[in-house]
Chain A
Amino acid sequence: MRPYQVATAAAIVLIAAVAMFDSRAAFSPSAGTSPGDVGSRWYPFWAATIMGIAAVIVAYRVLTTLQPVEGAFEGRRSVFAVLKIAVPMLAYAVLIGGIGFRTTDFTYRIVPAFGFYLATALYMGLFAWWLGRYKIWWVAAIAVAFPIVIFGVFELGFRVALPKSFLYTSGILPF
């Protein structure tokens, strides 16, 4: 557990250092708009400083006291169990908006925006097929039913406009 604890504390120290650097104007004599005001950088600077010091103390305690021998995960199985959820979730979030980049004149799309409903159909279907090992018609039913129910509840019921797909912009699908 020790290397993981130290790495976590180091990451916190790094965040603190970046924030302290950004707030280095805290000690500028012109800080603040009125007499007595400490300015906009003072508060984040000291918050970052306290955070950094606390993380250093945590790391020191971890290095100088007994720590559990086992690692952060209980074997490969537990790592894969987390990755099975985390990786499709990241892919799902990326698929909703698509991948691309923008110049001053154009927006280039590497992966088109699948929008919320198409991405949800793929995501729910993937889980039903992969982890649930359902038969293909059940997978299809789950992939179709969930987006439709969500469309009914959120889009029609609560009037929440969720991101639409490239098929919506070309007029093929209603979402």
Chain B
Amino acid sequence: MEVFGQLAGGFATALQPINVAMLFVAVVLGLVIGVLPGLGGTSGVAILLPITVFIAHGSLPGSDATTAIIFLAGIYWGALFGGVITSILFNIPGEPWAVVLLFDGFPLAKRLGKPGLALSSSFVSSFLGALVSTILFTFFALPIALKALEFGPAELFAVFVLSFATLIGLGAEAPMKSVAMLALGLLLAAVGFDTVTGEQRLNFGQTALLSGISFVPVTIGLFGIGEILASAEEQGIGFVENISAKLGLRDVVEALRELRKRLRLVLSNAIIGFFFGVLPGHGATAASFLGYGLARQYSKNKENFGKGEISGIMGPQAAADAAGVASLVPMITLGIPGSPTSAVIMAGLFIWGLQPGPVLFIQHPDFVWGLIASIYLGHLLTFILCLLAVPLLAMIMRVPYAIITPFIVVISIIGSYSLNNSMLDVFITVLFGLIGYWLRKMKYPLAPLVVALVLGDSTERELRKALIAGHGSPLYFFNSGLSTVLILFAVVLVAIPLIRTIRARRRGAAPPPAPAHS
């Protein structure tokens, strides 16, 4: 089969010494980022994105764009695994997708006195989930990309609309807040020159804004600085429940034995996680909660959940890692990020001069297959490192707050400045850090803002190309069966929260009107 040949070529690329070395560095960085509560996978990838410009342009001997994407993706894989360590050992989630491990991971480690089993159960299920997802990625990516090559502007616009609708309809926050954030992202993307007519807009006479608002400083601010401020507020709650972090071969063998008993659960959650992760806007976090719910729903020991049940660790972990890998599928095949982290990685592709989407498979097969092969290698490497270095990683939690916090700010500032050598970008980072912190506090979702900011230009371009092709008639979008189906599906998705509200009101579950003052 063609896929195997391509994958073999990908492994030849990924196994080049520079790529292996950068993958190792990235995975270690990702694990550290995952362990640190003040720094998430998305912010870690965003902060280190500017460095990849130098990697992609050959600053390191033998490095190119493939090295850069392997590096960025490696950070993500490391963070996916690293976040669980603090959840299980310290009862502090290092990453949002590790929150679910507080339910059973920490009780298994603390109450039942089996931290090694809790950690190794999490690692083996994560690895298996990621492996299943990567295999599906390998076989699904090319057919999706080849189909997407046939898309015209109407279909592409419909795909963008569908991805936005997914963010609204299936988001965890209030749908109108998602709409507001989505529109804000589209608005920010419109600042500067109009790509079709070359006219200036939304720059209010400021020449510095003519080139638009760069995605990278905004993301570093929203996620990097925003998370630092949020964790500053929460400081002092952690470091109480500290458990010894030793992991022996016996723990791994026991975890494998437990995995055998739950193989069906882990495999099914991995497959569900994959398809869930492909949906735009839903990365590992939502999948982890879905995985936990499914594990509990189909368990014979429901009463053990919340008390250290291993299915409550393996189920969500398999789904979360599978979704994390799958979030790259729409980014690579269609040019639509599946999660905020993949949105940052996609921004990297633009910066390195590559166009994410189906053409990538035709123009840069080495890049795509090198990335896919590196996912296998990256997860294997992360898995081995996790088994070997848990005590070392747990020690990172003991780095003093007074050093780690300003250090993250310093790295964020370097990241935002170095992309365009612009102090304006530094101020944008600081400003969006404050905005991101506040929006998070007010429960506005940041994923729609980030995804819309990345896709804003492409969405407008395809919309206007379609309207020009249809001589201004919106009916042009319904000329193609595919775009019609996608738009109708988008309408249904947007209607979901509305239907949910109406049903809740009919059942009388809607909250009563508030008094004059709360």
Contact = CB atoms under 8 A, between A and B. Distances in A.
B511 A66 contact: yes
Interface residues of B, number: 69
Interface string B175-215: 01101100110110010001011010110100000000000
Given A54-B179, A124-B410, 12 more contacts: A8-B442, A22-B204, A35-B468, A36-B470, A36-B473, A55-B180, A69-B518, A81-B232, A81-B233, A128-B402, A132-B401, A162-B417
A163 B180 contact: no
A158 interface: yes
A167 interface: no
26 contacts: A2-B518, A4-B442, A8-B438, A16-B183, A19-B202, A36-B472, A37-B464, A40-B199, A40-B201, A43-B460, A50-B183, A66-B514, A69-B518, A74-B233, A78-B233, A86-B229, A92-B413, A126-B406, A127-B406, A128-B403, A131-B402, A131-B405, A159-B54, A160-B54, A161-B421, A163-B417
A27 interface: no
B441 interface: yes
Contacts of B184: 12, 15, 51
Contacts, number: 194
B469 interface: yes
A90 interface: yes
Interface residues of A, number: 78
Interface in B131-177: 174, 176-177
B131 to A, nearest CB: 33
Given A2-B518, A58-B180, A162-B418, A93 B54 contact: no
Contacts of B517: 2
Interface of B: 50-51, 54, 59, 174, 176-177, 179-180, 183-184, 186-187, 190, 194, 196-197, 199, 201-202, 204, 225, 228-229, 232-233, 235, 400-403, 405-407, 409-410, 413-414, 417-418, 421, 423, 426-427, 430, 433-434, 437-439, 441-442, 444, 460, 463-464, 467-473, 511-514, 517-518
Contacts of A19: 187, 202
B406 A124 contact: yes
A85 interface: yes
A128 B405 CA distance: 10
Contacts of B417: 116, 162-163
Contacts of A23: 201-202
Given A37-B468, A93-B427, A120-B410, A84 B232 contact: yes
A80 to B, nearest CB: 10
A107 to B, nearest CB: 14
A41 B54 contact: no
Say what secondary structure dominates the interface of chain A: helix
A51 B183 contact: yes
B196 A37 contact: yes
B201 A82 contact: no
A37 B466 CA distance: 9
A47 interface: yes
A132 B400 contact: yes
A162 B183 CA distance: 34
A64 interface: yes
A150 B228 CA distance: 20
B426 A93 contact: yes
A124 B177 CA distance: 37
A33 B262 CA distance: 61
B54 A47 contact: no
A165 to B, nearest CB: 14
A59 to B, nearest CB: 10
Contacts of B518: 1-2, 66-69
B444 to A, nearest CB: 7
A63 B407 CA distance: 41
Nearest to B430: A93
B513 A64 contact: yes
Contacts of A154: 414, 418
Contact of B403 (A5, A130, A142): A142
A36 B512 CA distance: 48
Contacts of B204: 22
A85 B228 contact: yes
A115 B467 CA distance: 49
A134 B406 CA distance: 15
Contacts of A158: 51, 54, 59
Contacts of B201: 22-23, 40-41, 44
Given A89-B409, A132-B402, A5 B179 contact: no
